[in-house]
Amino acid sequence: MQTISAVFAYTFKEHLRHKAWLSAALFGLVLLGGAIIVSALGADERARLLLDLGLASIELIALVSVVFLTVHLILAEIESRAIYLILTHPVRRSDYLLGRFLGTLAAVALGMAAMAALHLILLSLYGWWEPLRYLAALGCMLGKISVMGALSLLLSLALTSEAAAMAFAVFLWMLGHFSAEMRFLADRSGSSFMKTALVAFSHAAPDFAHFNYRDFWHQAAPGGEWLMWAGVYALAYTAACLALSFQLFEQKEF
Amino acid sequence: MRGRWLALASALFALALIAGARMRRLHEPRFPPLSELKAGPFAFQDAMLAAAGYRAPAADLAWIHLLQYAAGSLPEYADHPGHPYEHLATLSLRVTRLDPSFHRAVLFAAGILGWFHGIERPDEAAKLLHEGMRRTPEQPMYAIYLAALAYKKEGDTDRMIALLESSFDRPETPSTMKSILANLRQSRGEHREALVLWARILESDRDRSEHARARLKIAELRGLLAKPPAKKP
């Protein structure tokens, strides 16, 4: 536990000092500014536009940050050979990887929280104030980001190429939002092989379509039990990807 | 050691599958499949945003396009001479296909098609409202507008106005529809009632886009009300 918290603190500080994180945070603020300008064109629906575009900007910046940072996390250390030095210390590989992942996720979550605080202030100025629903949407977004971070880390260790890992991560992000579409196609498919393959694929890929609270909360918003299961889903999926990453990392010979 | 991580990953993945199934059972988002998106100048933008999980922002951008078209500044959808607002229904359906909860897009377009002076295509408005109702049957405004259109066809303007005014303060009512109603009252010589409606528009934060016009109209109606009534010959 002490090792994990030490690696966590080191990773968290490292990211906050990193130019990429600061640029992402600044770009997020610029996007929020853009949301104010675009929402001005929405006439009666200004608050809705500011809400949707602001949340989408926060998620987009967090997604880019988490994919970039986690893909880079271990591969950069392998490339610079710093990993040899670190692993000579009495540190379990799984603890090291977990600390690095949690530190990265905390840095991204901090950026999201800062942007969300500013966004919420802007929304309140335009007469929208539903902090509990906003927190629920933000929680679901963090869940998606956590799953994507764990998937990116797994891909970076499996593919050992930053470009390939990032491309696959983006592909999985899209596929995750296609889960409802895949089930729709499976329902209409005449071939039993296609049906089975599509259903299996829709279950194996992260189900972001059902997790996209900020996209469907204008419809009837789901209740507390749904939120609890959404939390279980995000934690279990993230932990499963991390367990596979530990497996791969322990198999690597340095 | 190796087997432990794999076993743990399998157990966690099974837990994720169970949680995912529970989530789907408790709430199913009601978005039309992507195959329902129609070809058009913005089809690629809509499909890309929807596929990346940004359906609500895609619907918001489609709403801005709808407003731009209504204001006559969307070159991708130019009207043929003598056919005003011929793409209004298409553009409002584009919004609702991306996000069926965006009721205002359908109500806005139906209001213009059904009641806008010089347009008045109630059949097209009714078709649009039926489409909106099919997607979100629980939205009461579609039924109210359909009933108001039926009164309009029968020539029962009093009941039509009364019905539309009953939904005046509902959050879904578009500001354009409110100004149409106020103008309708004014055109019937009911200046006092029209003045009250414009005052309600001015009081509402949601109708900011109509505030400038409301101020002008209030001044105009006060002037009309201050004049002594014309003597009958």
Distances, alpha carbon B8 to alpha carbons A100, A246, B2, B42, B124, in Å: 20, 11, 10, 46, 59
Range of the domain at A196: 2-251
Report helix, strand and coil shares of chain B as percent, to nearest 5.
Answer: 70, 0, 30
Q: Would residue B84 be called left, alpha or beta, if left means φ above 0 and alpha means ψ between -120 and 50 degrees?
A: beta
Model confidence over A11-66: pLDDT tens digits?
A: 999 888 887 778 877 888 888 888 888 888 888 888 899 999 999 999 999 999 99
Closest partner CB to A229 (pick from B5, B19, B101): B19
Q: Which helix (H) or strand (E) holds A195?
A: helix A192-204
Residues of A in contact with B27 (CB under 8 A): 210, 220, 222, 226
Q: Which amino acid is at B84?
A: P
pLDDT at B20 over 80: yes
Nearest chain A residue to B24 by CA: give it. Answer: A210
CA distance B133 to B106: 10
pLDDT digits (tens, 9 = 90+) for B142-197: 999 999 999 999 999 999 999 999 999 998 899 999 999 999 999 999 999 999 99
Report the alpha-carbon distance of residue A36 to residue A138 in Å, rounded: 19
How many other CB atoms are there within 10 angstroms of residue A95's CB atom? Answer: 18
> What is the C-alpha to C-alpha distance for residues B123 and A224, in angstroms, rounded to an integer?
43
Contacts of A1 (CB under 8 A, 6+ apart): none
The CA distance from B92 to B111, in Å, is 12
Cα R_g (chain B), whole angstroms:
23
Min Cα separation A201/chain B (Å): 12
d(CA A149, CA A15): 14
The 3-class SS string of A97-157 reads HHHHHHHHHHHHHHHHHHHHHHHHHHHHHCCCCCHHHHHHHHHHHHHHHHHHHHHHHHHHH
Instruction: Using DSSP, state whether B122 is helix, strand or coil.
Output: helix
How many folded domains does chain A comprise?
A: 1
d(C-alpha B9, C-alpha B3), whole Å: 10
Whether chain B has a CB inside 8 Å of the CB on A49: the answer is: yes
ipTM above 0.85, yes or no: yes
| Cross-chain Cβ contact A210/B27 below 8 Å | yes
Beta carbons of B164 and B181 less than 8 angstroms apart: yes
- Tell me what pLDDT residue B232 has: 55
**A56, B57 Cβ separation under 8 angstroms:** yes
* pLDDT of B222 over the 70 cut: yes
Write out the two tokens for B69.
Answer: 């078209």
Candidates B64, B99, B173, partner chain A, best to mutate (most A CBs within 10 A):
B64
Inter-axis angle of helices B103-115 and B55-70, to 10 degrees? 20
Q: Rounded CA gap, B202 and B218, in Å?
A: 9
Residues A3/A89, Cβ–Cβ less than 8 Å: no
- Whether the per-residue pLDDT at B233 is higher than 70: the answer is no
Q: What was the pLDDT predicted at B215?
A: 96
CA-to-CA distance for A56 and A52, rounded, in angstroms? 6
B10 contact partners, CB below 8 Å, separation of at least 6:
A240
| H helix or E strand, kind and range, residue A93 | helix A93-125
Q: Which of B87, B91, B88, B84 is nearest to B42 (CA)?
A: B91
> Nearest chain B Cα to A234, which residue?
B16
Name the pTM for this structure: 0.89
Within 13 Å and on the Cβ side, how many CA atoms surround A19? 0
pLDDT on residue B118: 84
* pLDDT tens digit sequence for B97-108: 999 999 999 999
CB pairs under 8 A between A and B: 145
Which chain B positions have a beta carbon within 8 Å of A214's beta carbon? 56
Helices (H), B52-190: 55-70, 88-98, 103-115, 122-135, 140-154, 157-166, 175-187
Residue A7 tokens, joined: 């690696």
Structure tokens at A195: 């049906």
Whether the per-residue pLDDT at B230 is higher than 70: the answer is no
**Cβ neighbours of A239 in B, within 8 Å:** 8, 12
